Amino acid sequence: MMKTHTEKQALVSRILTFSCVDGPGNRLVIFLQGCNFNCLNCHNPHTINHCNDCGDCVAVCPTGALGVTSKGVINWDSKSCTQCDACIDACTYNSNPKVMRYTVTEILAVIRQHYHFLSGVTISGGEATLQLPFIVELFKRVKSDPELKHLTCFIDSNGELPLTGWDKVMDYLDGAMIDLKSWQQETHQWLVGRTNHRVVKTIEYLAQHDKLFELRLLHIPGRSDLDSEIEGVAGLINRLPITVQIRLNAFQHHGVKGIALTWPKCSKEQMLAFHALLTSRTQHTYLLPTIYT
């Protein structure tokens, strides 16, 4: 396979070849490593940081799939790996030794293996937009490829990307899914480590450009404030086109580490009460969780 030195590359933590929950239809999802939020409730904390090559996970690997090169860089042998995730459990740095670097050409080759069965491609994370030049290049090439141009190109994002960043990808973007985790700045800062100014701007900007496919609201009873700040949240939803679907996510413990494990999970009753607050103030379509674990 031909690679050029100028070709954009991405740090990829995982590729899911079929998903029906990451945008419309059947999608290939590319999860990029690295995030600029540090959510207390993160359910994939091993995607937050880039590995610092400390080597602490090497000894826990039961199959010898991990090692450190003579240059002090962690090395992962995918053929020996059984995906037991003992290395991820051992990492105290919220990282992952199984990250791989892919060029745009290499990702296109993966997409090409599956495109007959796909509606589109979604870039997720971590925070996808931290590797925006790669995404722009990938989407451009999907859209100009005779075999792949029918695929829709979506981004799943925390919304922190400035509007100038969204402008760079807008021409190649079919839709985005954006999370809103809290309403008050203080609550958002406490929960994710940053305010939500840019997130709200992103939501409104993408909606103006008809690119907001889905707004996701996470309900963490007693910790986030989307229910107690319902008038503000409903006001934002009412400024969005009626075609934007709203997905309600219930806080659960799966994958979560640290303090958030002491928080009660969101029950079905609590979710239905939140849903009722929203539906009494807005006309949008809401997708509710099907499982509460």
Distance CA 217, CA 226 (A): 8
Structure token pair of residue 65: 């799939």
Q: Which two tokens stand for residue 85?
A: 């995730």
Amino acid letter at 163?
L
Contacting range for ligand SF4; rule: CB under 6 A; set: 5-13, 77-85, 235-243, 276-284: 77-85
Can you tell me the distance from the alpha carbon of 180 to that of 192, in angstroms, rounded to the nearest whole number?
11
Interaction between residue 66 and ligand SF4 (CB under 6 A): yes
Restricting to residues 79-108, name those near ligand SF4 by CB under 6 A. 81-87, 91, 93, 95-98
Which residue among 3, 7, 59, 63 contacts ligand SF4 (CB under 6 A)? Answer: 63
Question: Strand, helix or coil at 158?
Answer: coil
CA 260 to chain centre: 19
Provide the minimum distance between the beta carbon of 257 and ligand SF4 in the complex, in angstroms, as a whole number: 13
Size of site (CB under 6 A) for ligand SF4:
27
Which region, judged by CB under 6 A, interacts with ligand SF4, from 6-14, 55-63, 122-130, 277-285? Answer: 55-63
Question: Measured from the CB atom, is 80 or 285 closer to ligand SF4?
Answer: 80
Q: Is the dihedral of CA 210, 213, 219, 224 positive or negative?
A: negative
The alpha carbon of residue 101 and the mean position of all alpha carbons in its chain are separated, in whole angstroms, by: 18
Whichever of 63 and 144 has its CB closer to ligand SF4, that residue is 63
Please state at what angle helix 230-238 crosses helix 197-208, rounded to 10 degrees: 30
What minimum distance in Å lies between the beta carbon of 49 and ligand SF4?
7
Binding footprint of ligand SF4 on the chain (CB under 6 A):
51-57, 60-61, 63, 65-66, 74, 76, 81-87, 91, 93, 95-98
